[in-house]
């Protein structure tokens, strides 16, 4: 912000009318539930850092309208509010490598494949004294990049069990696609013990509709 303000002041001194100063993003979250981040403390320190950089004499004396401040802290607000629920299909062994195949795939959450991001995964139903096993959590798409976690330590899961992939609120549906002719997942809004379907699951018929206009 200090560098952006310095550049803004130089441009204003050269006679340019600056309408916006964009602080960008950069306010992240903790992807480890064992080390939670105090969002209110982070937001306060973030706001202090941004506003202090703007308190320069040159900016204070700029004629109205002064530059408008833009912020992009969206991931810090929404990432932890969303989760991807997936069902275990089967277990697979390849030599010493173990795979847990689930019905979600890289088209539903591409961050692990695209950015090597690590999302914590937990069983929806906790099993008492379940043995922890190391496995890749992989989808059903025939792609080497179709994984949701590498070498995850999770309790042994049986076909039909459900897993919860945490912190998928920011770049889950917004980066989802229909790759491999896969309909995008439904979205459910949960508040306490109540739930609403806010986006229904797509159908294959809907995916093919743009291609059938010529028939």
Q: Same domain, yes or no, for 95 and 168?
A: yes
- What is the reported pTM? 0.84
Note the pLDDT of residue 116: 92
CATH of the domain at 133: 2.40.37.10
Decide if 192 is inside a domain: no
Note the pLDDT of residue 77: 87
- Structural contact between residues 174 and 168, judged by C-beta atoms closer than 8 angstroms: no
Note the pLDDT of residue 186: 97
CA distances (Å), origin 23, targets 3, 38, 47, 159, 162: 11, 21, 11, 47, 40
Active site residue 214: no
| Strand 132-138 relative to strand 97-102, pairing | parallel
Note the pLDDT of residue 141: 95
Note the pLDDT of residue 28: 79
Note the pLDDT of residue 215: 75
* Alpha-carbon gap, residue 184 to 144, rounded angstroms: 20
* Alpha-carbon gap, residue 29 to 121, rounded angstroms: 16
Domain encompassing residue 11: 2-78
Catalytic residue chosen out of the listed positions 13, 35, 132, 142: 142
Decide if 131 is inside a domain: yes
Q: Same domain, yes or no, for 94 and 167?
A: yes
Decide if 203 is inside a domain: no
Decide if 208 is inside a domain: no
42 Cβ contact partners less than 8 Å away, ≥ 6 residues apart? 27, 76
* Alpha-carbon gap, residue 185 to 107, rounded angstroms: 10
Number of structural domains (the chain) is 2
59 Cβ contact partners less than 8 Å away, ≥ 6 residues apart? 5, 8, 9, 66, 67
Q: Same domain, yes or no, for 62 and 86?
A: no
Note the pLDDT of residue 93: 93
Q: Same domain, yes or no, for 23 and 93?
A: no
Decide if 30 is inside a domain: yes
Q: What is the DSSP letter of 196?
A: E
* Alpha-carbon gap, residue 174 to 118, rounded angstroms: 18
Q: Same domain, yes or no, for 56 and 99?
A: no
Domain end, chosen from 78, 103, 133, is at: 78
**Length of the chain (residues):** 215
Q: Same domain, yes or no, for 94 and 74?
A: no
Note the pLDDT of residue 200: 96
Decide if 205 is inside a domain: no
Stretches where the chain sits below pLDDT 50 are none
Decide if 209 is inside a domain: no
- Provide the 3-class DSSP secondary structure of residue 76: helix
């Amino acid at each position: 912000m200090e560098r952006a303000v310095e550049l803004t002041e130089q441009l204003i001194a050269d006679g340019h009318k600056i309408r916006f100063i964009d602080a960008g993003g950069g306010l992240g979250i903790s992807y480890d539930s064992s080390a939670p981040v105090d969002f209110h403390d982070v937001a306060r320190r973030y706001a202090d850092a941004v506003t202090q950089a703007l308190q320069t004499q040159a900016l204070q004396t700029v004629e109205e309208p002064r530059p408008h401040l833009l912020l992009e802290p969206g991931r810090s607000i929404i990432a932890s509010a969303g989760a991807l629920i997936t069902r275990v299909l089967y277990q697979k062994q390849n030599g010493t490598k173990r795979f847990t195949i689930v019905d979600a795939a890289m088209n539903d959450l591409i961050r692990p494949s695209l950015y090597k991001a690590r999302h914590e995964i937990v069983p929806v139903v906790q099993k008492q004294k379940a043995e922890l096993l190391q496995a890749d959590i992989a989808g059903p798409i025939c792609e080497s990049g179709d994984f949701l976690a590498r070498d995850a330590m999770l309790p042994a899961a049986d076909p039909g069990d459900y897993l919860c992939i945490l912190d998928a609120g920011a770049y889950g549906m917004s980066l989802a696609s229909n790759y491999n002719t896969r309909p995008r997942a439904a979205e459910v809004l949960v508040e306490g013990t109540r739930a609403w379907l806010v986006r229904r699951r797509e159908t294959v018929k809907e995916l093919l509709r743009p291609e059938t206009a010529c028939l």
